[in-house]
Amino acid sequence: MGLKVYINGELLEKENAKISVYDHGLLYGDGVFEGIRAYRGKVFRCEAHVNRLYDSAKAIGLEIPLSRQEMIDAIYETLNANDLEDAYIRVVITRGTGTLGLDPNKCHEPQIIIITDTIVLYPKDFYQNGLELVTVPTVRNHPAALSPRIKSLNYLNNILAKIEALQSGVVEAIMLNKDGYVAECTGDNLFIFSEGKLQTPPPHAGILEGITRGVVMDLAREIDIPVEERQLTRFDLYVADECFLTGTAAEIVPVVRIDSRDIGDGQPGKLTRQLRSMFQEETQNAG
C-alpha cells in the first residue's frame, strides 16, 4: 500500500495528492511549513513545532483553518494512516488557489498539506567521521526584509547557497549575514565549542531559532556546559575545538573541516558525541 498524503482533511494516495497550479504557494512561495520528526510513533516536540507554524502563519497574515489541537490530531492521523513510527513529517500551509496576480485576497481557502515519509539527510559516515563545510558567497537574507523566524516556502536564498556548496564538492554551506558574521547553514543551525563554552549565533544574526537548537542548548546546560549566543566570525570557527550542526532532519552532525581547515584534531569532538548520545536518548521519550 502506497503512502497517503493529507490535503484539507482528506487522505489521498501519494500519486493523487495534487494542488492547483494557481496555488500561491507554488506561484509565489506564499506559505509556511514545518519539518517535524516522529520516533517510535511519537512526534518529537510536536507542540513547539505547531506553535512555530502558527506564529509563522500569523506573521504573514495567513489564517490556518484548524485549531492547534486539530492540527496535532491531523499530524497523528496522517502518521498512523501510513503505519510509520520513525518518520519525517512535513506540514505545509499555502495561501491557496488564486489568480496570477500577487493579491493574497484573491486566495479564498488556504491549503493544508501533511506529508509523512522517511528521510536520510546525511549518510551514516558523516555522523561517524564528520562533515566538511565551506563558506559561500550567497549572504543570508536581511532579517529586516524577511524575518528568519518565518519558516516560509521561499527557500531560494538557501538553495543558492546549497548549489554553491555542491559546486565546491561538499554537501553543506555556511552562510554569513550582511555584516559578515556567521548566520547558519542552508538547513541547519551551527554550534562551536570553544574556551569551555558552547557557542551559537544569536537570533539577530539572521537565523531560524531551530527546535533542535533549543533542545541541544538545554542538554548542554544539564551537564553544566555554559551556553552562549554571540556573534561569530569565520576566525571563531577556524580556531574552535569542536563544531556541529543541528536540525530536525539532521539531528546533530559533527563538523571536522571548514574552508580547508581542520576543526580541533579533525575528528568529531567529545562534547559533540556526548550531546548526540543525549539527544538520541531524548528522542526515545518523544512528545
Contact 29, 153 (CB under 8 A): yes
Cell numbers 487522505 label which residue? Answer: 11
Q: Which residues are tagged catalytic?
A: 151
Contact 26, 97 (CB under 8 A): no
Could you write out the DSSP letters of every residue in 44-91? TTHHHHHHHHHHHHHHTT---SS-HHHHHHHHHHHHHHTT-SSEEEEE
- Residue 116 has which C-alpha cell? 509523512
Mention every residue, 6+ apart, whose C-beta is less than 8 A from residue 111: 7, 8, 19, 23, 25, 31, 92, 93, 94, 96, 97
What are φ and ψ of residue 83, in 5° steps? 55, 45
CA dist 31 and 28 (Å) reads 9
CA dist 93 and 58 (Å) reads 12
Contact 252, 244 (CB under 8 A): yes
CA dist 59 and 126 (Å) reads 36
